[in-house]
Amino acid sequence: MDSGQSFEPTTDFPEYIDDDESAVEGGPSSHDAAVQARRRIIVRVVAAGAVVLLMLAGFGAVRTVIAVAVAYVIFMVGIRTIGAFARPIPDALPPGMLRRVKLNYRCDVCGTELRLTLANDQVPEPPRHCTEPMILTTNLDDVL
């Protein structure tokens, strides 16, 4: 800090959200779609190979097809479930949807205190902590 440069902290406040140029766009890219298509082809080829190998091993045709179909469905559901964790962050709410508030809450069970600075309503429902609704400690005459 001795060189005369000033330090500018970054914040996550909503008024600065639009300044972020590195926002994640929704939907898969063309590369992702190609990878997913290639993965589906590989899984189908492996499933067909499993059917052939099980038939050559002496298992019945119906039994083999049912087993491979169930394994395929379980595998694809698992892949889609894991892929759901990789979804991009949703777009920010349009301006004006959130309003500035200054509400203080306290948990009646453990004493944890919370300050709410943005809300979609002037006096929103109280948050829950320790499975109980928190107590509003801000004077409502100051809010309204």
> Helices marked H in the chain — which ranges?
30-56, 61-84, 140-143
What is the reported pLDDT for 92? 62
Whole-number Å distance between alpha carbons of 2 and 69: 68
Backbone phi, psi, residue 44, to 5°: -65, -40
At 54 the three-state DSSP class reads helix
Instruction: Using alpha carbons, select from 61, 64, 37, 66 the residue that is nearest to residue 50.
Output: 64
What is the reported pLDDT for 41? 92
pLDDT tens across the length of the chain (144 residues): 455 555 454 445 555 444 444 444 555 566 777 888 898 899 899 999 999 999 999 999 899 999 999 999 999 899 888 888 877 766 665 666 777 778 889 998 898 999 888 877 666 788 888 989 999 888 776 665
Whole-number Å distance between alpha carbons of 70 and 130: 42
What is the reported pLDDT for 21? 45
